[in-house]
Every structure is written in C-alpha cells, then in structure tokens.
Structure 1
Amino acid sequence: MKLSDIKKILPTLENVVFQLADGTAVPAHVHVTEVGQINKNFIDCGGTIRVENTVNFQLWNADDYEHRLKPDKLLHIIQLSDEKLQIGDYEIEVEYQRDTIGKYSLDFDGKNLILINKTTACLALESCGIPLQPLHVVASTNNSCTPGSGCC
C-alpha cells in the first residue's frame, strides 16, 4: 500500500485497527510514534547499485490502555509529516515490535490495516550461483540406488 492509498482509506474508517496477517490483532492502544521516509542506497551481491524509498510507520505499545488512535489523528500525523518532510508516495513499511522489531508491508482488507510479513531475497540470483529453477528429481522404480541412476 502506498501513502496515497492510506490517505484515501483513513477518512472512510471509524477506527484504526492493525492486524497481523495470521489474524492476531495488534493491541488497540497502539501508538504511531513515527511517520517518515527511508531512503536506502545499496549494492547487491551482483554489483548492481540500487535505491529503495519507503514510507515508514513505527507502531509502539505503551501502558496507556485507554489510548485509541482515531483515523483523523493518524491522517493528521501523515499530513504533518508529508508537509514538513515532503514525503514521497512510496510503499508503506511498518515497524512493529513483538519479540524483536519486525518490518511489515501494509495492506487493507476493507476493514483493518493488515501487517504483511516481509521476507528477504537475493536481488541478483543470476550472479549468485543459486539455481533459478529447482533441481529436477527423477523417481526410480529401482530398489537400489547407484551413482548416476537418478534416484539420489
């Protein structure tokens, strides 16, 4: 989800509800403590220089259990950040701490904002020596496995 998407969604909501992809609810008293832009300049293992820009939301649970983030408040935080920082319309990445700080993509299911698990990946598979396709295993009807038979 891009920043422009959440700006359109928030005015349609009664409450801001974050939920993990497995259905686990993020506590209702969560705070959005940061909204910003992260610019990542890096080189991948294949030698390609890359640039990634994301909008970052940081979620934090405090001990103020009566706190509830309302859509208009989050929209105000976003608009203020946009105005002061000139944030681009990039994909949103959410930081949320469980056992450790996790990074999530953001999606919307029509009611809740869904934190989608992010994964790592090699960006230069063709340069790494990693097979692009899984190795093909040949099934053998032979009960013995000898080198070169294709059964092992």
Structure 2
Amino acid sequence: MKLSEVKKHLAALETIAFQLPNGELVPNHFHVTEVGKITKNFIDCGGTVRNEEVVNFQLWNADDYDHRLHPEKLIHIIELSEKVLGIEDLEIEVEYQGNTIEKFGLDFDGTNFRLTSKQTDCLAKDNCGIQAEKPKLNLSEINNEPCCSPDGNCC
C-alpha cells in the first residue's frame, strides 16, 4: 500500500486499528513513534546494484492505556514528514515489536489496516542457478484426449 492510500483511508476513519497477520489487533493504545523514508542500496548475489525506498511507520506500545492516536493526528504526522523529509508516495513498511523488530507490508480491509507478512527472496535467481518454479497441475486438469491416433505409430 502506498502512502497516498493510507492518507485516503485515514481521512474516512474515526479510529485507527492495526491487525497482525495472525488476526490479533495491535493494542489500541499504540503510538506511531516514527514516520520516515528508508533507503536501501545494495548489490544482490548476481552483482546487480539495487536501490529500494519505502516509507516506514514504527508502531510501539507503552503503558499509557488511555492513549489513542486519532486519524487526523496521524495524517498530520505524515504530512509533516512529507514536507520536512521530502517523503514521496512510496510503499509502506511497518515495524512492530515481536521477539525482535518485525517488518510488515500494509493492506486495508475497509475497517483495519492489516500488517502483512514479508518474505526474503533471491533477486538474482537466474544468476544463482535456481530454476524458476514450474506450475503444478492437478491430474484432473490434464486434457483427457488421447495423445496418439491409432494410425500414428507412436506406441
């Protein structure tokens, strides 16, 4: 989800809720402690130089159980970040504390912002000898027509 989409959804909400991939909600007294741009410059295992940029939200829980972040306040923080940091309309990455700092993608289901699982991947499979995954077919999907004709001399 891009930053512009987050702002659009926030403008239509009265409360903000984030849902973890396991279905649990982030406690509603969460804080957004950071809104920023993260730039990652790297070389993949195939030698290609890459540059990735995301907008980062960091969610944090404190012991202030009466705290509630309202949508208009988060919009204000986002707009200030856009102005001061020059943040563009990039994809969102969310950090949240698990056993370590966990990183998530972001989606919206009409009510809640959903934290989506992210996976590692090789970006240079063709240079590493990793074969592209072949599509799996069910036997029921295979064409039932015979492959040979009686006079085809194939058997």
Structure 2: tracts of 5 or more residues without a match: 137-155
- Detail structure 1 runs of 4+ shifted over 4 Å in the superposition: none
- Partner Cα separation in structure 2 for residue 125 and residue 31 of structure 1: 39
**% identity of equivalent residues:** 62
1:76 matched residue in structure 2: 76
1:132 Cα offset (Å): 1.8
Offset from partner CA, 1:62-87 (integer Å, 9 cap, x none): 11011111100110110111111110
CA distance in 2, matches of 1:86, 1:25: 31
Note if 1:114 corresponds to 2:149: no
User: What TM-score does the superposition give when structure 2 sets the normalisation length?
Assistant: 0.84
Q: In structure 2, what is the equivalent of residue 149 of structure 1?
A: none
Alignment of 1:3-152 (within 5 A): 3-133=3-133
Q: Which runs of 5+ in 1 are unaligned?
A: 137-152
**Any idea what SS the aligned residue of 2:73 has?**
helix
CA distance in 2, matches of 1:25, 1:133: 35
CA deviation map 1:7-29 (0-9, x unaligned): 11111001010001221111101
Structure 1: distance between partners of 2:69 and 2:118: 24
Deviation at 1:61, TM superposition (A): 0.6
Provide the alpha-carbon RMSD of the alignment. Answer: 1.2
**In structure 2, what is the Cα distance between the partners aligned to 1:133 and 1:23?**
30
Count of paired positions = 135
